[in-house]
Amino acid sequence: SNGGPLGYDGMTNSLALEIDTYVNGNFNDPPVAHLSLHGRPGTANSADELVASIISDTTLANVGGLRTMRVTYDSGLFEIYIDDLTVPRMSVFIDITEYLASDSAWIGFIGSTGGVTQVNDVLSWSLTNGGATQFLRGDVNLDSSVNLPDAIYALGALFVPGSPPVTCLDSADINDDGGFNLPDAIYLLSALFVPGSDAVPEPTASCGTDPTDDSIDCETPICP
C-alpha cells in the first residue's frame, strides 16, 4: 500500500511534519527529498494539505548514520533544524491552535514505507517547554501587586509619549485576548472598582503561566 501519508492521513486536529525521502507523484512531491508541514484546521489531515511550501533538501537522502533534528515553536514561528541546529531548514508562521483545536496535544513519531523498505529508528528525544514564562496578570508596573497604579501605568504606556513602556505584555493583557490595548486598562478598572464585573483571568492570586496560547510574552518577568 502507499506509505506516503501513513500514520496521519485522516487524523483531525493534527499537524504533521514530513521528512520525506521518497517521491510520491500522486501527492505532488518534488523530484528530490523534502520537508513539508501538513494540516487542515477543523477537518481530516492528508498528505495533500500543505501548511507551508515544500522545502526541497537534497541532504535528506537515505543514510546509514545518525541525524539530529530540532523543532521549535515560539511566538507563532515554527522552525525545523536538521544536523545544523543553528540555521533552520524551514521557517513558517502559523497559529498552531487553529490546527489542534485544543491547548494540549500528543507528540509522536511515525515511520512509514510502501513499496520499498526503510528503517527509521528514534534513538532519543526530549521536549522542552521554554516559552512558559511565569507572570501575574494585571501587574503591569511589575511591583508584585495588582491595583489602580497598574491601570494608570497601562494608560500612560498606551497614550502618553515618553511614558515607561510595558515590558511584560502577558501581565498587561488583562482581558486575555492575546494583545495589549485600551480595553485591557478598562477591564482592570472595572474588575477593581465596579461590583459585578468579571474578574481578571488567571494567573492572579500568584505567579503562573498563561493558560492561553498567544504570541505575546514578557521581556522583563518578575516571577521566578
- 143 and 187, same structural domain? yes
**Same-domain check for residues 102 and 164:** no
* Number of domains comprising the chain: 2
Distance CA 134, CA 142 (A): 12
* Mean pLDDT to the nearest integer, 69-74: 85
Task: Looking at the structure, tell me whether residues 173 and 221 fall in a common domain.
Answer: yes
SS3 (DSSP) at 91: strand
- Is the domain of 113 the same as that of 149? no
Please check whether residues 201 and 117 belong to one and the same domain. no
Q: Domain boundary residue among 128, 156, 174? A: 128
Kindly report, residue by residue over 157-192, the tens digit of the pLDDT. 999 999 999 999 999 999 999 999 999 999 999 999
Q: Supply 208's cell numbers.
A: 503562573
Q: What residues form DSSP beta bridges with 90?
A: 80
* 69 and 179 co-located in one domain: no
173 and 205 share a domain? yes
pLDDT in tens, 104-147: 788 888 777 667 777 778 888 877 665 567 899 999 999 989 99
Cα separation, 79 vs 62, whole angstroms: 22
**CB atoms < 10 A from the CB of 194, how many?**
10
Last residue of a domain, one of 76, 108, 128: 128
- Based on the domain organization, do 42 and 105 belong to the same domain? yes
For residue 187, the enclosing domain spans 133-224
* CATH at 144: 1.10.1330.10
Looking at the structure, do residues 33 and 119 belong to the same domain, yes or no? yes
29 vs 45: which has the higher pLDDT:
45
**pLDDT value of residue 172:** 96
Q: What average pLDDT does range 49-71 have in this prediction?
A: 71
From residue 168, alpha-carbon distances to 91, 130, 140, 172, 174 in Å are 26, 16, 7, 7, 11
pLDDT grade for 90, boundaries at 50, 70 and 90: confident
| Whether 22 and 88 share a structural domain | yes
pTM of the model: 0.52
Residue where one domain finishes, among candidates 128, 155, 173: 128
My answer on whether 166 and 221 are in the same domain is yes
Whether residue 90 sits in one domain with residue 76 = yes
